[in-house]
A and B are shown apart, each in its own frame.
Chain A
């Protein structure tokens, strides 16, 4: 159980275009989903937290108008990189968590989406 999928797994786009990445929890309902970015040989950095039906909370330094997040249902969150530029090329990973009312809950991570902007 606790499987999170991402689509697409890899995308190459031209500079200036927008790219949408989907994150789905396949066998559970995720109250909260998270988006991370990982540059080569670096650790994961949290970009934003999204709760179903409400606006995402962005980390300091992450442009909310550039990285649009929509958490439309308890099983789907999308990240849209708008007007992508080469410096946006990175590995984007989502995770999902079931909020059971306690404070100790596991996050389950998707397989990641590798974005290359030419």
Chain B
């Protein structure tokens, strides 16, 4: 079946540390997005990245579509980075069915 697997499920960091979050998927994708869900539930769109590499400040993301994974890098983490990070994607055969991974819950301690 359709699989979107995120790892690790939980991550605790000291402020200033770097981290890598991973998203594995099981088929060809036409849309892959990374989101940060803040404590109030708002999904913040971080990257639209079905392939390639993008950077935005301390965050960057890489998707290797041929190997079916995407990585989200967070450098010099801050306490405000805490929250849940979701990878979500749609597969080529159904552009309407956006599947979310289970998320990585990040806690950054001061």
CB neighbours (8 Å) of B50 from chain A are 104
CB neighbours (8 Å) of B41 from chain A are 38, 91, 93, 111-112, 114
* Inter-subunit contact B31/A106 (CB<8 Å): yes
Q: If A43-B86, A111-B42 touch, does A57 touch B96 (CB 8 Å cutoff)?
A: yes
CB of A28 closer than 8 Å to a CB of B: no
Q: What is the interface size of chain B, counting residues whose CB is below 8 A from a CB of the partner?
A: 23
Chain B 86-110 per-residue mask, 1 if CB under 8 angstroms from chain A, else 0? 1010001001111111110000000
The secondary structure that dominates the B interface is: strand
Size bracket of the A interface: 20 to 34
CB of B7 closer than 8 Å to a CB of A: no
CB of B45 closer than 8 Å to a CB of A: yes
Beta-carbon contacts under 8 Å, B1-36 to A? 30-31, 33, 35
The secondary structure that dominates the A interface is: strand
CB neighbours (8 Å) of B96 from chain A are 32, 34, 49, 57
27 contacts between A and B (CB under 8 A): A32-B96, A34-B96, A42-B102, A43-B86, A43-B100, A43-B102, A44-B86, A44-B88, A46-B97, A46-B98, A46-B99, A57-B96, A95-B98, A103-B31, A104-B30, A104-B31, A105-B95, A106-B45, A107-B88, A107-B98, A108-B45, A109-B35, A109-B42, A109-B43, A111-B42, A112-B41, A112-B42
**Closest CB pairs A-B (n = 6):** A109-B43, A112-B41, A103-B30, A43-B100, A44-B100, A106-B48
